[in-house]
Chains A and B, each alone.
Chain A
Amino acid sequence: AQSVAQPEDQVNVAEGNPLTVKCTYSVSGNPYLFWYVQYPNRGLQFLLKYITGDNLVKGSYGFEAEFNKSQTSFHLKKPSALVSDSALYFCAVRDLSSASKIIFGSGTRLSIRP
């Protein structure tokens, strides 16, 4: 069965510093991986996805993620954090069933201090 793990419940970063939110996955076959962000009292917004190709995927709001097959990781990164990046981040994998449901990680709360 497909699954993702986010080992950190919370990540704290100073504004202007680089940030990394970690994610590891377990899939059979080729992984379809996603990052979503949830701002307070808001829905889930798509940030980026990896399907195939270049291991470095660029997404919205200056975020990027690096797919590493040998480490089965898909860490989310940003070179310079903004206070407005503070939110809950979910790593996810697409299930390979016909319905292709999304399986989410437990989420990581990112807090950027001024």
Chain B
Amino acid sequence: EPEVTQTPSHQVTQMGQEVILRCVPISNHLYFYWYRQILGQKVEFLVSFYNNEISEKSEIFDDQFSVERPDGSNFTLKIRSTKLEDSAMYFCASRGAGGTETQYFGPGTRLLVL
């Protein structure tokens, strides 16, 4: 069964450093998402991506964040200058083209900013 994959599973970085989180969505999916879950809190939407551009972003997704689909398979989230409060689990998700299609989530990347 196809699944969303994410790398790395864990990342530890120093405050102010840049990080890139990688995702490989399910191959025939067209909509891509990033969510995050701060420890003990609910899952929050960050950004959605369709047709090579951002279709929606939350207030969390400020200028420090960017997304890219550099080739036909990867979907990345970059945080330019990490802050302590960026420590969270980051989930990638993808879905197909139909209006009722389910979003499938990857296993997540746990980011710890020191």
Q: Are B105 and A45 in contact (CB under 8 A)?
A: yes
Known: A44-B91, A46-B102, A100-B95. A105 touches B55 (CB 8 A): no
Choose one: A34, A90, A104; the contact of B102 (CB below 8 Å).
Answer: A34
**Residue of chain B at shortest CB distance from A34:** B102
Bitwise interface map of B from 55 to 90 toward A, beta carbon under 8 Å scored 1, else 0: 110000000000000000000000000000000000
> In the complex, which range does the number of interface residues on chain B fall in?
20 to 34
Interface of chain B, main secondary structure: strand
Q: Are A49 and B102 in contact (CB under 8 A)?
A: yes
**Residue of chain B at shortest CB distance from A98:** B55
Known: A44-B43, A107-B42. A102 touches B108 (CB 8 A): no
**Residue of chain A at shortest CB distance from B6:** A43
Interchain CA distance A34-B101 in the complex, whole Å: 11
Choose one: A99, A104, A107; the contact of B31 (CB below 8 Å).
Answer: A99
Give the Cβ gap from B46 to chain A, nearest Cβ, in Å: 9
Q: Are B45 and A101 in contact (CB under 8 A)?
A: yes
Q: Which of B1-59 contact A (CB under 8 A)?
A: 6, 31, 33, 35, 41-45, 48, 50, 55-56
**Residue of chain B at shortest CB distance from A101:** B45
Known: A99-B56, A101-B56. A43 touches B103 (CB 8 A): no
**Residue of chain A at shortest CB distance from B104:** A46
Known: A43-B107, A43-B108, A98-B55. A103 touches B91 (CB 8 A): no
Interchain CA distance A45-B100 in the complex, whole Å: 17
Q: Are B56 and A44 in contact (CB under 8 A)?
A: no
Q: Are B100 and A36 in contact (CB under 8 A)?
A: no
Interchain CA distance A99-B103 in the complex, whole Å: 11
Residues of B bordering A, CB below 8 Å: 6, 31, 33, 35, 41-45, 48, 50, 55-56, 91, 93, 95, 99-100, 102-108
